[in-house]
Structure 1
């Protein structure tokens, strides 16, 4: 199916769907294409920009910055444990020697993150939101 932008000789714009260019012309020539506003059959195609879509996987980054963020996300996810909302508690416990040190990532409320930084716990924000993990 092809969508055409159409215009009647009165200047009304509308669109229509046709099987092919030949199909449009046959229907128009037979008087079966009419203006949606005034009903005239003096209709022709109007200028329109082609609808060109980019062929790429849905998960592919769209630009170099997104590619870099995607690579960083993969590296973080492959080399650290996701601890979810217990990030602040886990980071503080490792800093105080109550738990063995390991690489972690997760989520913290702004006030929790601020307190960790004030207390000298080595943390840094990530430039992306963690993916939700199911149990």
Structure 2
């Protein structure tokens, strides 16, 4: 999966997950992309800085990380309702599927290969595992997470 920083014609920033760059282009061409803040279909990729790790740096040379920042928003009633619906979706999926924990990628591959019965499951997968599953044609969906889930 590829995460893109996106921006609408009105300047609202948001992110989207796609199987590939071609998938982003195809969804845009079909009019399937829209801004969650204003509904604008004029959506484009925003400039992104790549995360590059230099392997030549030794631990003593590695600078201390800056204080982590996260995107934040103050939302109106429409976004509050959307957040509530996403929480309901997450609760429904987790209540009505089997938690396979860290074995998610393994179980998903077994079901895709029809080695085990297909059923609804949820669990945890690394970004690399999620990307590999998508490249193998195994359709997975990230569950929405919220800051208060960490409390």
TM-score by length of 2: 0.42
TM-score by length of 1: 0.47
Larger RCO of the pair (alpha carbons < 8 Å, separation 6+) = 2
- Structure with greater Cα Rg: 1
